[in-house]
Amino acid sequence: MSTVTLVCSGQMASALTFPLFENGHEVRLVGSPLDDEIITSLRENNYHPTLTRTLHDGIKYYTSDQLEEALEDTDLVVCGTSSFGVDWFLENVIPKIPDGVPMISVTKGMIGKEDGTMVTYPEYWKENLPEGVEQEIFAIGGPCTARDLSDHDVSFVAYCGDDLEKLAKIKDLFSTDYYIISLTDDTVGLESAVALKNGYALGTAMAIGIAEELGDDGIAHVNSKSALFQQSVDEMAKLIELVGGRPENIMYAAGDLDVTVAGGRSRSVGELLGRGYSIDEAEEKLAGQTLEAVVIAKRTAEAVKKLAERGIVDEKEFPLLMHMNEILVDKKPVNIPWKAFETVRKEEENV
């Protein structure tokens, strides 16, 4: 039996307690400074108010001021913060992780640098570790909603990191007959793939909102949604290659895009935009929810613009991304540039 400490009691970290606890491990769930109400509820009856599921009886719950106690003698730390808590985790949690204890993150996103370079969160943490701190960092990506995982719906994800032997041992802690895990040493590829899907889920879901305004009965107007899904996959594939990821990771981007468009906050934003709401109105309607789709779409578009200025890419290769940026930054209404999706492609001749 191992001891696993999950820091931040959001939906995904809390859902991961199911395979861990069922595999016989000691599970400690620590709330962030914003999670006091969740921890209070869990201590009362194991019910998670935002996940809307009851966790296993026997999990140990800690508030943020009890972090050091929760980290004592732990074998693995799971980072469950949202993208808005990346710096908080870097400054307040990583320095307290005991020496030699690895961490694995479920946080999805990327950060843009001044030159247009995009880095994944594991890269960002490694580049900015406090002086004297060494930390081995792994990450999780792939199509997996927290509620479905909690309900034991079969979920297929990937774990990534440089040391595949250690990663295999981490996999063994979580692996069940309903939680299927592949391994890859391509952290950049996997983490960029699952970060990008949030922004493109927003873009794809705009077709759902447009269809609703046209009186969609739930059957019609699937062609337009599929067209946006298809364009999203094409643009994500180019972006994964651009940041240095391997092409096979498009499978995780596509799978995660599908599950996110099916439901969730990223879909909600795109749906409202498609119905004619401005981004300001959409954010007001979704007040209190973490809208990571907006963050990653804007960051990615800004990075592409900077790279285009340097002659590395052409903005015309990313028409959907650029239109999302017009909507989110320039506050323009949805007017999907369908004809810009058309291409002529031929096999390159051997030189």
The pTM assigned to this predicted structure is 0.91
d(CA 83, CA 292): 7
If phi > 0 it is left, if psi is from -120 to 50 it is alpha, else beta; for residue 207 that is alpha
Give the whole-angstrom CA distance, residue 328 versus residue 311.
24
* Cβ atoms 18, 149 nearer than 8 A: yes
Among 182, 187, 150, 188, smallest CA distance to 168 is for: 182
Contact 169/151 with Cβ under 8 angstroms? no
**Secondary structure class of 110 (helix, strand, coil):** strand
Query: Residue 72 and residue 226: Cα distance in Å, rounded?
Result: 49
Enclosing H/E stretch for 294? helix 292-309
Q: How far apart are CA 48 and CA 51, in angstroms?
A: 5
Cα–Cα dist 318/299, whole Å: 14
Which residue reads 């969609």 in tokens?
216
| Pick from 202, 216, 201: nearest CA to 283 | 202
Closest CA to 107 of 146, 157, 141: 141
Looking at domain 190-341, its CATH superfamily turns out to be N-(1-d-carboxylethyl)-l-norvaline Dehydrogenase; domain 2 (1.10.1040.10)
Taking CB atoms within 8 Å and a gap of at least 24, the contacts of 43-47 are none
**Region for 286 from its dihedrals, namely left if φ exceeds 0, alpha if ψ lies in -120 to 50, beta otherwise:** alpha
pLDDT of residue 113: 82
| pLDDT at position 343 | 92
Give CA–CA dist 111/264, Å, rounded.
22
Q: CA gyration radius for the chain?
A: 20
CA distance 94 to 85: 12
Angle between helix 187-213 and 222-242 (nearest 10): 160
What's 3-185's CATH class? alpha beta
Residue pLDDT tens, the chain, 351 long: 999 999 999 999 999 999 999 999 999 999 999 999 999 999 999 999 999 999 999 999 999 999 999 999 999 999 999 888 999 999 999 999 999 999 999 999 898 888 888 899 999 999 999 888 999 999 999 999 999 999 999 999 999 999 999 999 999 999 999 999 999 999 999 999 999 999 999 999 999 999 988 876 556 678 999 999 999 999 999 999 999 999 999 999 999 999 999 987 889 999 999 999 999 999 999 877 767 889 899 999 999 999 999 999 999 999 999 999 999 999 999 999 999 999 998 887 654
Measured in residues, the chain has a length of 351
The crossing angle, in degrees rounded to 10, of helices 292-309 and 265-274 is: 70
User: CA-CA distance, 211 to 215, in Å (whole number)?
Assistant: 6
The structural domains of the chain, with segments of one domain joined by +, span: 3-185, 190-341
Q: What share of the chain is helix, strand, coil (3-state, %, to 5)?
A: 50, 15, 35
